[in-house]
Structure 1
Amino acid sequence: MVVGGGPGGYEAALVARRLGAQVTVVERHGLGGSAVLTDVVPSKTLIATAEWMTIADRAPELGIRLDRLAAGLGPEDDAAGPAGGTGSAVRDALHHRIDLDAVNTRVKALAAAQSADIRARLEREGVDVVAGTGRLLDPEHVAVRTPEGREHTLDADVVLVSTGATPRVLPEARPDGERILTWTQMYNLTSLPERLIVVGSGVTGAEFAGAYTSLGADVVLVSSRDRVLPGEDQDAAELIERVFTQRGMTVMSRSRASAARRTADGVVVTLEDGREVEGSHVLLAVGAVPTTRDLGLEDAGVRLTPSGHVAVDKVSRTNVRGVYAAGDCTGVLPLASVAATQGRIAMSHALGDAVRPLSLRGISANIFTAPEIATVGEPEGRLRERGVQYQVSMLPLARNPRAKMLGVRDGFVKIFAHAGTGTVLGAVVVGPRASESIFPLTLAVTHRLTADQIADASTVYPSMSGTIGEVARMMHHRIED
């Protein structure tokens, strides 16, 4: 029995089925879970659209001009006044604009299509899919309540809990789905917010704030910390904050929000120091809480952490024999890739297949801002805290010939290597498609390659990845010294 059909759940189901088990997945919202329906897939689809807007902004410097005839304009329009009337029409016709209703319609359609693909795959593999809410009665029985309110009990030899997490909200800022929103509700907007206040400067807050700035909204990012993305590499975070402000975003550092209320035509966010910020909409991006209540976990004897997460070991076992857990409900690392890995490991272990315990060493992560921030291995701050002797090598992308061709100015590649052995300990890539560029460095960290081994590999010229090879070559004499 798999309770929850997100990445951890459906990947576990596929492994269990291939190993010969009879598998039932219980999911109440739709296969793929929040990752597919309200989180990863929708947000990255929105961000992909915003990225095109960012690229379009660079068009003039690349020599691209909009055909005035295609815009329905003639020489007589040049004489139009600077304010209002035909003058505004000219500027509007020559400037790309966003149709947020169309964007969000596409976002939701793609999410639904991905969910349907997952269902079709599971059913093709012989997995039983049940719509409803699962609750453990004990380690071997799961009660399922259907959307119609009927309840029945299913037997299980193994249970995997993969119920994810839900957006955290503030006591004095209750979402209404119209003006005060969580990130799951952003896709119901039909027009671009005039002034969007984003509360929270972590990954979710930064991604949405950056996307809506690129889409053309006036954005205020309220951060309780000294800088945007406080948990990320300092060089990367400082670069992103600089890019944000250059694009017109207002970043309010050391400003903790305490409440949000609706007004006649917008919202007011109150800060702890008494200041108020007015806007048309507010997005609450203040973290997530595990979806572990009312699942019968305590009744089944499953231990929860003080934060409400399911406590698991490195093969996804709980303290109760036969009960496993995977994904955001465990609090191990809030990434869909980690959830999927946990689910696969859980079923391999439960069904007696060969299994390697979860290691976070080679897990790469990406923040889908523009530019993207991709990381793998040990962060520099943690290396410093642990007293590890390491060397750093770093180059800006602006020197890369391919970047110059594409009009890319912001970004860098940074590699950390052990001072004695040259083994790659971690890396940061900031730039377009950093999520793709990080892969060779992920291989290096996972397989404990040295900087010299990276440097010895050939790269295409010109290419963004050429900077990775160059950064590795720069480390050679430093490590020997």
Structure 2
Amino acid sequence: MIYDLCVIGSGPAGQNAAISAAKENLKVLVIEKSYIGGVCQNTGTIPSKTLRDTAFFMSDFKGRTKHGISSSSTTNIDLEKVKSRLISIVNNGQEFIHRNLEKNNIEIAKGTAEFIDKNTIVITDKEDRKETIEAKNILIATGTSPYHPDNITFDNKYIFDSNSILSLNFNAKRMIIVGAGVIGCEYACIFAKLGIKVTLIEERDRLLPFLDEEISNSLEFSMRDSGIIIKMGEKIIDAEITEKNVVKATFESNKTIVSDVLLYTVGRYGNIGKLKLENINLKTNDRGHIKVNECMQTEIEGIYAVGDIIGTPSLASTSAMQGRIAASKMFKDSYKPMDLNKITYGIYTIPEISMVGETEASLSNKKIPYEVGIGHFRETGRGQIIGDQHGILKLLFHRENLTLLGVHAIGDLVTEIIHIGQAILKHEGTIDYFIDSVFNYPTLSEVYKIAAQNGLNRLNNI
């Protein structure tokens, strides 16, 4: 049998490509070497955000006096129930994805994929049984894996990467997290709120430098305020497990830190090891990423790549869209290119961060005249109710025509309310929308109106 499309990988990118093709009544096969749903569903986004939900609830519960609840109320965590909830949510997601693929008459093969030529794949299952299939088009959606430096031994008992950290014994009291990227910052917030003393190590001199500087600084203040120790400009050179079963980390500065566990989150590399891309002469960069054009085509005819394997932005949301774009190009020869400047970014630290559009730095570099409007969550009724005294939303808009250029926010639920700004940005609207619209009361969405009014006041020197 010759398939119209063979998809290697079942994460958000692979799922969406497969389903889009199947809806055109095409014959589709998905190959998955591990669990359905990929890293996103099984060891990454979904389980980590589930744990974050628990941590956020606990952090709010510890501040329960604002709700009139006695401080003597218990805050003990039932570790087995926490783990059970993680497993249940992961399993439910797997079942949903599996049903969705089957409902669309998509075949699923379990095993590793290896290219013979650009139309032929050999699938090897766990029992080393092999099956050869042919496909008119092949889409690579194998994702990435954590980088393991040679000087660190990962045993998944004391030293972890981001794929294995959720197997941690939650009774650990101290944790070193190496790498203050998105994953490192998210886990630092989660484990700190669960009562673990976290030390966050970063080689650079600023947290998440791609963020608006004001938002980045606000996050750093919040993390330090929650007890996280942040050490900038430090590079780890060794990590060893001592006779006392603790981790001793050594840095280039000759400093050492002792901890119960260490989480290493610096870098991820493309999962290309067993694909034998050399058989189709498909090259990757030094991080295992595959180069594609705007419709996800590689340099080899009939071979597409989507998701984390092609590099930034490496988001589940954009990966899903990339899968749909690739399928549309394959079978309709049409597609809508993705405008990366108008996609939302969500970072699930505590508090959350979200952004869309330009930053002040990018606007300055482009010499675009802009003004800033800032709204504080404490200025809204909903912000007062939930006790978010530090959340802010920042609007960037054109000084001359008031066109919205960017939205940046930090605080409770900002990954939800960011889409209001995204919609206006996508349709090239102005901040007049926020001034003229009536928002539900009390909601955090009202902060858009406050920020817009603040921006107009600044523009008019009021």
Contact 1:104 1:189 in 2 (8 A): no
In the TM superposition, 1:55-454 aligns within 5 A as 55-65=60-70, 94-263=73-242, 264-352=244-332, 354-454=334-434
Counterpart of 1:37 in structure 2 is 42
TM-score relative to the length of structure 1? 0.91
Q: Matched residues in 2 for 1:13 and 1:371: separation? A: 35
Tell me: CA distance 1:193–1:228, structure 2 relative to 1, closer, same or farther (3 Å).
farther
Q: Matched residues in 1 for 2:273 and 2:27: separation? A: 27
Counterpart of 2:3 in structure 1 is none
**Which letter maps to 1:30?**
Y
Secondary structure of the corresponding residue to residue 34 of structure 1: helix
Counterpart of 1:13 in structure 2 is 18
Q: Matched residues in 1 for 2:281 and 2:405: separation? A: 39
Q: Does 1:52 align with 2:57?
A: yes
Q: Kindly state the Cα deviation for residue 478 of structure 1 after the two structures are TM-superposed.
A: 5.1
CA deviations on 1:289-330 (whole Å, 9 max, x unpaired) are 111233122321223234321100111111111110100000
Larger Rg over CA atoms: 1
Q: Kindly state the Cα deviation for residue 477 of structure 1 after the two structures are TM-superposed.
A: 5.7
Q: Matched residues in 1 for 2:452 and 2:70: separation? A: 39
Secondary structure of the corresponding residue to residue 237 of structure 1: helix
Q: Kindly state the Cα deviation for residue 480 of structure 1 after the two structures are TM-superposed.
A: 7.3
Q: Kindly state the Cα deviation for residue 380 of structure 1 after the two structures are TM-superposed.
A: 2.3
Q: Kindly state the Cα deviation for residue 237 of structure 1 after the two structures are TM-superposed.
A: 1.6
Tell me: CA distance 1:191–1:476, structure 2 relative to 1, closer, same or farther (3 Å).
closer
CA deviations on 1:98-154 (whole Å, 9 max, x unpaired) are 233431232122112201210111011100000011122111111111111011211
Tell me: CA distance 1:387–1:309, structure 2 relative to 1, closer, same or farther (3 Å).
same
**Which letter maps to 1:342?**
Q
Task: Using the TM superposition, name which of 96-105 and 153-162 deviates more.
Answer: 96-105
CA deviations on 1:229-252 (whole Å, 9 max, x unpaired) are 233221112112111222222111
Q: Matched residues in 1 for 2:173 and 2:147: separation? A: 25
Task: Using the TM superposition, name which of 399-408 and 321-330 deviates more.
Answer: 399-408
Contact 2:374 2:450 in 1 (8 A): no
CA deviations on 1:240-267 (whole Å, 9 max, x unpaired) are 2111222222111221222211112210
Listed as ranges, the gaps of 5+ residues in structure 1 are 67-90
Tell me: CA distance 1:326–1:180, structure 2 relative to 1, closer, same or farther (3 Å).
same
Q: Matched residues in 1 for 2:171 and 2:187: separation? A: 13
Contact 1:418 1:424 in 2 (8 A): yes
Q: Does 1:461 align with 2:441?
A: yes
Task: Using the TM superposition, name which of 408-417 and 232-241 deviates more.
Answer: 232-241
Q: Matched residues in 1 for 2:153 and 2:332: separation? A: 46
Of all paired residues, the percent bearing the same amino acid is 29
Listed as ranges, the gaps of 5+ residues in structure 2 are 1-5
Contact 1:25 1:130 in 2 (8 A): yes
Task: Using the TM superposition, name which of 289-298 and 207-216 deviates more.
Answer: 289-298
Task: Using the TM superposition, name which of 331-340 and 288-297 deviates more.
Answer: 288-297
TM-score relative to the length of structure 2? 0.95
Contact 1:424 1:451 in 2 (8 A): yes
Q: Matched residues in 2 for 1:205 and 1:231: separation? A: 15
**Which letter maps to 1:185?**
S
Secondary structure of the corresponding residue to residue 414 of structure 1: strand
Contact 1:364 1:376 in 2 (8 A): yes
Contact 2:373 2:458 in 1 (8 A): no
Q: Matched residues in 2 for 1:10 and 1:335: separation? A: 14
Contact 2:373 2:452 in 1 (8 A): yes
**Which letter maps to 1:251?**
I
Say how many residue pairs are matched.
Answer: 455
Q: Report the aligned-residue RMSD.
A: 1.6
Q: Kindly state the Cα deviation for residue 435 of structure 1 after the two structures are TM-superposed.
A: 0.8
**Which letter maps to 1:230?**
P
